[in-house]
Amino acid sequence: MERSIYEFPDIFRRVHMEKPGDIEREVEFLKRVWQRHLKRRVRRVLDIACGDSPHGQLLAREGVEVAGIDRSPTMIAAGRAESGHGGTIRFHRRKIEKFRIPEQPFDVAFFMSETFPVMTRNADLMSHLKSVGDLLRRGGLYCVDIDRHDGIELIKARRLWRRRRVKAGRVRVDVREYHRPVAWYEVEQPVYELECTIHFPEGDVVTRDLVPVRYTIPPLMELAARASGMFEMIACYSDLSFTTPLAQCYGRWLAVLRRV
Binding residues (CB under 6 A) for ligand SAM: these are 6, 16, 49-51, 54, 70-72, 75, 95-97, 112-113, 115, 118
Strand partners, 246: none
**Own/partner pairs, 75-78, CB within 8 angstroms, 24+ separation:** 75/6, 75/9, 75/50, 75/51, 76/52, 78/9, 78/10, 78/51, 78/52
Q: Tell me whether residue 45 or residue 49 sits nearer to ligand SAM (CB atom).
A: 49
Query: Closest approach of Cβ 151 to ligand SAM, in Å?
Result: 22
**Cβ 190 to ligand SAM, closest distance in Å?**
18
Q: Which is nearer to ligand SAM, 8 or 237 (CB)?
A: 8
Burial class (CB in 10 A: 0-12, 13-18, 19+), 204: exposed
Would you tell me how many other CB atoms lie within 10 Å of the CB of residue 163? Answer: 11
DSSP 4: -
- Tell me the residue type at 80: R
Nearest residue (CB) to ligand SAM, 68 versus 190: 68
In angstroms, give the least distance from the CB of 39 to ligand SAM.
27
- In the complex, the smallest distance separating the C-beta of residue 42 from ligand SAM, rounded to whole angstroms, is 18
Of the two residues 154 and 210, which places its CB atom closer to ligand SAM in the complex?
Answer: 210
